[in-house]
Amino acid sequence: MKQLITDFTNQLSKAIVIGNAYEPSDWSANISNVLISGLGGSGIGGTIAAEVVACEAHVPILTNNGYFIPNFVSINTLFLACSYSGNTEETVSAAKLAHQEGAKVVVISSGGKLKEMASENGWDFIGIPGGQPPRASFGLSFPEVLYALYAHGIISKSFEKELEAAIKLLDVNEVAMQEEAKQVTEMLFGKIPVIYAADGFGGVATRFRQQINENSKMLCWHHVIPEMNHNELVGWRDKNEDLAVVIFRNETDFKNIQARMEINKGTFAEYTDTTVEIWSKGTSDLQRALYLIHLGDWVSFFLGEKKGVDITEVKVIDHLKSELAKL
């Protein structure tokens, strides 16, 4: 896992090459909406992509994390099926339903059932290298969502320059990021992380939670601001030093959200002594998101290492899948 996290920018570089090779098949219908379907490490790229391009995309982009699809899916829907293995049963099910509704289906995968279905049904297929845990292949799969959106006229290709800039940013700051991640690890070790981020970076917070769950073998939760100010904030009533707050921050966060974060820190301090702020770097939301994701991945690795767990194994998920296969 350490090598896979180290390889993050190399993955992004490979993804750029793969994305530029994608040429969509002919399709005459006008796209009026986009649905990105995927789960876990395969699905989070869709969530983050939708947030990053929200201010540019000219049609709604929604995400789907289950077996079924919403009723609006039609011949005017671009449906992106994201499954690293190509065998995620929920995504396979959703792709079948989208096909039945006449949607334009594009598969982003390393192979599996979805590749077979793409060949059988004439769906577009964007192939990425396989053989790794899905959560460790974000750098390969996430950019392909952006390339698919670009290829179908939903966004411009400006994101590519931001990807290239992010690669340089991460490479230059790699040593410093690992050092910061080790410092954050010391503050989180033995505690339950409570993760907060500004609206628009909820996917980044989700990614960090997922990595803590899978790599560190720990429970935690996350929320976004300002939404949490209308509900979860009231739950901070009992002193609990087992909790550690992590706040992902950007200098460009809306001023009212910045103010909320500062006020919230005072509330958190009444109930736990541990609040960690992780500030992004970069000149665009895409760069900032990738910076926080990579730093968060390192934190999850160092936490798992400090706990002495097998960072790669996901036996409980394997057991779940084996039981479901009996149905």
How does pLDDT run along the chain (327 residues), one tens digit per residue? 888 999 999 999 999 999 999 999 977 679 999 999 999 999 999 999 999 999 999 999 999 999 999 999 999 999 999 999 999 999 999 999 999 999 999 999 999 999 999 999 999 999 999 989 889 999 999 999 999 999 999 999 999 999 999 999 999 999 999 999 999 999 999 999 999 999 999 999 999 999 999 999 999 999 999 999 999 999 999 999 999 999 999 999 999 999 999 999 999 999 999 999 999 999 999 999 999 999 999 999 999 999 999 999 888 888 888 888 888
H helices of the chain, in order, are 2-6, 8-21, 40-52, 89-100, 112-121, 138-151, 158-188, 202-215, 255-269, 285-307, 315-324
Q: How far apart are CA 6 and CA 50, in angstroms?
A: 26
The helix or strand, by DSSP H or E, that contains position 83, with its residue range, turns out to be: strand 77-83
Homologous superfamily of the 173-307 domain (CATH)? Glucose-6-phosphate isomerase like protein; domain 1 (3.40.50.10490)
Cα–Cα separations (whole angstroms), residue 21 to 16, 18, 49, 285:
9, 5, 19, 25
Q: How far apart are CA 196 and CA 140, in angstroms?
A: 26
- Give Cα 64 distance to the centre of its chain: 13
Q: How far apart are CA 263 and CA 257, in angstroms?
A: 10
Where in the chain are all domains bearing CATH 3.40.50.10490? 2-156, 173-307
Could you confirm whether 321 is annotated as catalytic? Answer: yes
Catalytic residue among 230, 255, 315, 326: 230
Homologous superfamily of the 2-156 domain (CATH)? Glucose-6-phosphate isomerase like protein; domain 1 (3.40.50.10490)
Could you confirm whether 182 is annotated as catalytic? Answer: no
Catalytic residue among 214, 222, 281, 294: 214
Could you confirm whether 230 is annotated as catalytic? Answer: yes
- pTM for the full predicted model: 0.95
